[in-house]
Structure 1
Amino acid sequence: MMVLVYILATIVTFLLMEIVTWCTHKYIMHGFLWYLHEDHHQPKYQGVFEKNDAFFVIFAIPSIALFYFGIHPGLNLLFFVALGILFYGIAYFLVHDVLIHQRFKWFKYTKNKYLIGLRKAHKVHHKHLGKEQGECFGMLYVPKKYFSM
């Protein structure tokens, strides 16, 4: 029974991370931490890393802490919450940095309708170079209109 609870905790955490990502992106990255996110909205990367990459570290801290407290004093639910956050972070990296921004040329061409819609939605988000007037702040959820564009 506990195995099912742990699996569900991981899946639910992964799904809830989309809401956390949307809120963090809209209100923090496009808010008081814009100075870290701003270079990400510029037309071309200025090297291997950008200030925006600091958010990978910021998001990893809660996951690392949950992994620690999820195994001390013994394996518990927090470990699987951390696992859900980790899986979302991996998905974010693969979708955002690899597929959308092509920072790594692994999946250059796709005919998958969902991934094409995802790219379109993110492109609309990046048409705004400033922190105001943004749209499409999530990562995996794509509004239907981007599939018909």
Structure 2
Amino acid sequence: MGSIMLMIVGTSTSLFGQIFTGYLSQRIGRKKTIAVFAMTAIVLAIPTFFGLYNADSAYERIVYTIILIIVATTGFGPIPAFLSERFPTEVRNSASGFIYNGGLIFGSWAPLIAVTMLSKGGELVPILLGMNVIVGSIIILIGAKINPETRDADISQ
């Protein structure tokens, strides 16, 4: 089981996790769902990267990949709804698209950062990769803190 299997596991975990957190945000709110997953990512990012980096078997790598993806990406499930509920109808699509895709542009740097760090080797790799997730999670927490809850918001204007 190589990197192809980890990609399949990671992508599937992210898909089903984002569906779950989208559903969860309908129950407990967008901000709370996003914040809970961001805080969990802050706590678990470095230990999970250490486990993944030092895993001896493919099954260990799969378990750590699942944990990492759950805490690092599934919290994004409510973000499209959250963004759609933040803007008036005149600019809703363009504003949401600009912000969401702007985030994707910055997020797309993560694999480049990871490959660069991994190619350098060293014991700091899990810490540096974890810090990458932690910084992103802090940015998400700030956004959750300064924005209002949008669940059940009237978006007809």
TM-score interval, normalised by the smaller of the two chains: 0.3 to 0.5
Structure 1 or 2: more helix by fraction = 2
Structure number with greater CO (CA < 8 Å, separation at least 6) is: 2
Name the TM-score, length of structure 2 as normaliser. Answer: 0.40
